[in-house]
Amino acid sequence: MVGYKQQPGKLPFSKPGSGGKNSFSKPIEENMIPSSQGGKLKQPWGPHRHDSLVSGQVIGKDTALVDSNWKVTGQAHYGDDVRIKGELIGRIVRSPHHYARVISIDCSRALKLPGVVAVATGADANNKFGVLPVTKDEHAMAVDKVRHAGDLVACVAAEDEATAREAERLIEVEYEILDSIHDMRDGLKDSFEPIHDRGKYHIGESNVQKRVFQEFGDVSGMLSSSVASYKEDWVFAGVNHAFTEPHAVVAHWDPTGRLTLYTPQQVPHYVHRALADVLEIPMHQINVHRTFVGGGFGGKSDPFPHEMCAAILARKSGRPVRLTFDREEVYWVNRGRHPSRIEMNLHADEEGRICGIETDALIDGGAFASFGHVTTYYNGVLHTAPYEIGSFHYTGARVWTNKPASGAMRGHGAVNSRCAVEVGLDHLAEQLSVDPISLRLANLLPPHSSTITGFRVTSIGMRECLERVRQESGWTKKFRRLPLGKGIGVGCGFFISGSGLPIHWDPNKFPHATVHLKIDMDGGVTVHTGAAEIGQGSDTVVAQSVAEVLGLPLDMIRIKSRESDTSPVDLGSYSSRVTFMNANAAISAAMDIRNNLIDATAQITNSDKQGLVIGDRRIFQKSDPSVGVSYLEALHKAQEDRGALISSGAYRTPPMGKTHKGAAAGLAPAYSFSAYAAEVTVDVETGQINVEKVWAAHDCGKALNPLAVKGQIIGSCHMGMGQVLSEEMRYSRNGSLLNPDLLDYKIPSVHEMPEVTPIIVESNDPEGPFGAKEAGEGPLLPILPAVCNAVYDAIGVRPSELPLTPEKVFKLIEKRCKSEGILDPLHLSPPSLNYSDLQTTLENRASEHSTRDISRRLNEERSEYYNGALFGLDPSIPPDQSDPSWAVRVTPDQSYLDDPRLAGSAWKHTERRKRGEEK
């Protein structure tokens, strides 16, 4: 049981070190030392390159977040908690119109109001910015046009909030209202007044911001071998991150003329760059101070106009400016998941192989590009695994509409199309009369293979996830055997663990993550990192990594990750990259120090340094533990003549992937896998769905902090449950957002949450820190299809529109009743299943593949494996080289354009430059 002994100023602390003979430090915990190093930790997935660095301290132990005491005592300061003497309060004037030209702004009345200190408009900041360098299309405030209701027009700073709000009202803006578009399908058409002008790169005269065409494998051949297929037009509503902390920012120009921006940001580095662009000052004159972040989930990862506004107001007024959002404004900024229309086609052949996936995804980007360029790719490429597939066709388009911008949200771009794929697989299994888990198990890519799109898959624990879920949920007893109204369903997920290329292109091979360590006389380790702690526990993971390598208790590590002035550049908390990249950087920095300590110990003890190991606060000979010194002794020896030990470590992704256009999107140094089973109850008379239980297996490589991994899994379930059951940004017929508040935007409360059983699968990634991969976003993907498939198991209807509100579900039930001539829905029969012969074929294949996978993951001498081997191609040659019909195509040919799908019709437009216009 936990103790109850927290005593500020009298904390139970760790002693910094002990000698070889006396026993300050604890004996090595054999259970935490990997078997490859002679310990008792079993390694069914083989040894890892970091095994020798394990000192048995904290890796793999449930660990409280290192900053949690700040949070539980109310001393954690978030964006709005930063107070600087003499601060002004900022407010933003927002557009009431969906789309309009700003004719004039008159601030004179506002400026006359006593207490108003500064007013700024678009004229104060002309430069564009945006998170992606290729699509910078935002201004601090409207220059020429406002593009959605809630778009920024002007801002004001005043002595107090009441005055600022009054001044906001007194700023008079004259608009010329333009024709707005709200349906994403209208964005594909030519327009008199496209929402943005991309100059010569503009696609037709349309509102298409980005379009993608990709074909891999034998697409035309696939239809001929298909014996079962799935075709569905999916509609996904847009959802918002709904983090609890509204955006807030404080800008302060200090007496030396430098700007400090206090902001709850996931990616302080990109804000840093954008501020320099917009304010036209060099980056070294800016200190971006990340406050505690009250939830991000992707929604605090763009550089935001309001951050620019605060800095501009502070510069104009010469005083600090604090600017905090109302909850409604959070929805105006949005950057949530794209509303999408996805046409999903799946094909299976007579051997139960997935011979084709055809996806056409139209996504609604709202008024700005944000991360949309990447999202458009992710909607396609992130569902080409974990299965081995015969062909893949993807057309995607992102259009601008006059709505708050969509952007990155947990599971970026992968969530909606993954849901459609997994529901489709369930349908294929139904058609083939096989078990959906067996179908999946017989089509998985092996470890150390390459997907059809050329992504390098290293570790893969998909099979174990599915098997664990099948076992723990009692799947075989439940699937297709539960009474009407009760059902169980399965879904899988696949997600990147860090993106292969940084957002800002780096010709100079700049690292993705850098960590600096400093140890002075006191023995405590100061870690400087730019990784953004947003509640996911990144500070804790980096502290754990350093503590493990140096054999120190966690309380001897202190993390300094807040300020760009003192932290090395880290690209930020997005793409589930932090644990993988930052912990790798931290390990390499700690190894440097470790070597210093071992050298010093060898000198003191006059023994061979090869045999020295680090245990708990001691460095000693492995063969004779009595020969050794305390950590502090070794440290002080190492500091002779040089003072503090300082080291730097960095991580950069290895070169990988193919070379076609868009090949970099979706590339990652490792991928996470997950499988969920969900059990639901559907009230057949009302359409109300209750999710009762979820078994959630996630392959995170190695759980460095299992407590946090479980928290991420359960939290992901919560967020995904919201999207599948109740969350929706609702727009009225004239395009107004109807529910910009937490009352009408329904996130699940504690009562809606099912009992989640988190299952951690550790596939020991060869390049991950101690084997770890991501656990933040991937776990969200499977919950949506698992619930949809469970609904089918319960009442025999296949949803294709989210969220599954009772109205929608009841309509589906009514439709089924009508088609079967049944009056009372209680008389419906739940779907049943009789296995066909194919079931045995699949089970045999799955069992063969299981043996293959185990040998591939343990055998270092393994051969190459390219997607396509299951279809008879040579596994050791890339499929496009062994069979010309598998060639990669990234532009549509004329025959496709004769009858394109919805998003595919974006390719009917010709870019201005190709029409000879150089505008």
Partner 1 sequence: MVQYRLPMLPHPEEIEWTAEVNGAETTLHIENNAVLLDVLREKAGSLGTKRGCDMGTCGCCSVLIDGDPRLSCLTLASEADGTSITTVEGLSDGHHLHPIQQTFTEFGGSQCGFCTPGFLVVISALLSENSSPSDEEIKSAIEGNLCRCTGFQQIVDSVRAASDILVAGDRVEDSTSAKSDPHPGFGEEV
Residues 71-90 that bind partner 1 (CB under 8 A): 71-78, 80-81, 83
Q: Which is nearer to partner 1, 237 or 717 (CB)?
A: 717
Told to check if 693 binds partner 1 by CB under 8 A, we report no
Q: Which is nearer to partner 1, 300 or 857 (CB)?
A: 300
DSSP 580: I
Told to check if 679 binds partner 1 by CB under 8 A, we report no
Site for partner 1 in 698-737 (CB under 8 A): 707-708, 710-711, 714-719
> What's 142-201 look like in SS3?
CCCEECCCCCEEEEEEECCHHHHHHHHHHCEEEEEECCCCCCHHHHHCECCCCCCCCHHH
Told to check if 644 binds partner 1 by CB under 8 A, we report no
Told to check if 31 binds partner 1 by CB under 8 A, we report no
Single-letter amino acid code for the residue at 199: G
**What is the CB neighbour count within 10 angstroms for residue 167?**
27
* Phi, psi values for residue 439, rounded to 5°: -60, -45
Exactly one of 36, 68, 736, 836 binds partner 1 (CB under 8 A); that residue is 68
Told to check if 2 binds partner 1 by CB under 8 A, we report yes
Strand partners, 94: 152
Q: What is the CA radius of gyration of the chain?
A: 28
Q: Which is nearer to partner 1, 242 or 802 (CB)?
A: 242
Exactly one of 19, 47, 96, 553 binds partner 1 (CB under 8 A); that residue is 553
Site for partner 1 in 193-212 (CB under 8 A): none
Q: Which is nearer to partner 1, 71 or 480 (CB)?
A: 71
Told to check if 30 binds partner 1 by CB under 8 A, we report no
Told to check if 293 binds partner 1 by CB under 8 A, we report yes
Q: Are 618 and 551 in contact (CB under 8 A)?
A: yes
Whole-angstrom distance, CA of residue 251 vs CA of residue 261: 5
Whole-angstrom distance, CA of residue 320 vs CA of residue 83: 9
DSSP 829: -
Stretch that binds partner 1, among 225-233, 433-441, 742-750, 761-769 (CB under 8 A): 742-750
Exactly one of 31, 35, 133, 162 binds partner 1 (CB under 8 A); that residue is 162
Nearest to 83 by CA among 296, 248, 195: 248
Site for partner 1 in 618-637 (CB under 8 A): none
Cis peptide bond prior to 305, omega within 30° of 0:
no
Stretch that binds partner 1, among 140-148, 633-641, 745-753, 811-819 (CB under 8 A): 745-753
State in angstroms the smallest separation of the CB of 412 from partner 1: 17
State in angstroms the smallest separation of the CB of 7 from partner 1: 5
Told to check if 656 binds partner 1 by CB under 8 A, we report no
Q: Which is nearer to partner 1, 7 or 659 (CB)?
A: 7
Binding mask 6-25 toward partner 1 (x if CB under 8 A, else -) reads xxx-x-xxxx-------xxx
State in angstroms the smallest separation of the CB of 14 from partner 1: 6
Whole-angstrom distance, CA of residue 700 vs CA of residue 762: 6
Sheet holding 525-529: strands in order across?
557-560, 525-529, 513-519, 645-651
Told to check if 739 binds partner 1 by CB under 8 A, we report no
Sort strands 645-651 and 100-106 into parallel, antiparallel or unpaired: unpaired
Site for partner 1 in 226-245 (CB under 8 A): 241-245
DSSP 527: E
Strand partners, 357: 346, 392
Q: Are 313 and 126 in contact (CB under 8 A)?
A: no
Q: Which is nearer to partner 1, 71 or 811 (CB)?
A: 71
Told to check if 834 binds partner 1 by CB under 8 A, we report no
Exactly one of 30, 44, 49, 109 binds partner 1 (CB under 8 A); that residue is 109
Encoding tokens for residue 707?
């407590």
Exactly one of 30, 35, 49, 70 binds partner 1 (CB under 8 A); that residue is 70
Exactly one of 294, 303, 687, 785 binds partner 1 (CB under 8 A); that residue is 294
Residue-by-residue DSSP string for 714-757:
HHHHHHHHHHHHT----B-TTS-BS--STTTS----TTT--EEE
**What is the CB neighbour count within 10 angstroms for residue 185?**
15
Q: Which is nearer to partner 1, 103 or 743 (CB)?
A: 743
DSSP 843: H
Exactly one of 29, 166, 233, 520 binds partner 1 (CB under 8 A); that residue is 166
Exactly one of 750, 821, 832, 884 binds partner 1 (CB under 8 A); that residue is 750
Stretch that binds partner 1, among 271-279, 392-400, 747-755, 872-880 (CB under 8 A): 747-755
Site for partner 1 in 403-442 (CB under 8 A): none
Beta carbons within 8 Å of 540's beta carbon, 6+ residues apart: 63, 64, 65, 66, 67, 705, 708
State in angstroms the smallest separation of the CB of 745 from partner 1: 9
Exactly one of 3, 255, 483, 655 binds partner 1 (CB under 8 A); that residue is 3
Whole-angstrom distance, CA of residue 208 vs CA of residue 229: 30
Nearest to 337 by CA among 675, 687, 745: 745
Single-letter amino acid code for the residue at 436: P
Binding mask 118-147 toward partner 1 (x if CB under 8 A, else -) reads ------------------------------
Told to check if 543 binds partner 1 by CB under 8 A, we report no
Told to check if 695 binds partner 1 by CB under 8 A, we report no
Told to check if 170 binds partner 1 by CB under 8 A, we report yes
Q: Which is nearer to partner 1, 139 or 322 (CB)?
A: 322
* Phi, psi values for residue 871, rounded to 5°: -100, 20
Q: Which is nearer to partner 1, 305 or 779 (CB)?
A: 779
669, 763, 766, 875 from 858: Cα distances, Å: 19, 11, 11, 18
Exactly one of 30, 174, 741, 814 binds partner 1 (CB under 8 A); that residue is 741
Exactly one of 173, 321, 587, 747 binds partner 1 (CB under 8 A); that residue is 747
Stretch that binds partner 1, among 142-150, 159-167, 345-353, 907-915 (CB under 8 A): 159-167
Exactly one of 153, 429, 452, 534 binds partner 1 (CB under 8 A); that residue is 534
Whole-angstrom distance, CA of residue 249 vs CA of residue 302: 14
Told to check if 307 binds partner 1 by CB under 8 A, we report no
State in angstroms the smallest separation of the CB of 492 from partner 1: 20
State in angstroms the smallest separation of the CB of 748 from partner 1: 8
Using CB under 8 A, count the residues that bind partner 1.
84
State in angstroms the smallest separation of the CB of 900 from partner 1: 39
State in angstroms the smallest separation of the CB of 63 from partner 1: 9
Encoding tokens for residue 513?
């993550």
Tell me the CB-side half-sphere exposure of residue 618, using CA atoms within 13 A.
Answer: 24
Nearest to 333 by CA among 372, 378, 303, 313: 303
State in angstroms the smallest separation of the CB of 723 from partner 1: 13
State in angstroms the smallest separation of the CB of 678 from partner 1: 14
The length of the chain, given as a count of residues: 919
Told to check if 337 binds partner 1 by CB under 8 A, we report no
Residue-by-residue DSSP string for 417-484:
HHHHHHHHHHHHHHHHTS-HHHHHHTTBPPSSEE-TT--EE----HHHHHHHHHHHTTHHHHTTTSPT
Q: Which is nearer to partner 1, 540 or 764 (CB)?
A: 540
Site for partner 1 in 756-815 (CB under 8 A): 756
Residue-by-residue DSSP string for 305-332:
HHHHHHHHHHHHHTS-EEEE--HHHHHH
Told to check if 169 binds partner 1 by CB under 8 A, we report yes
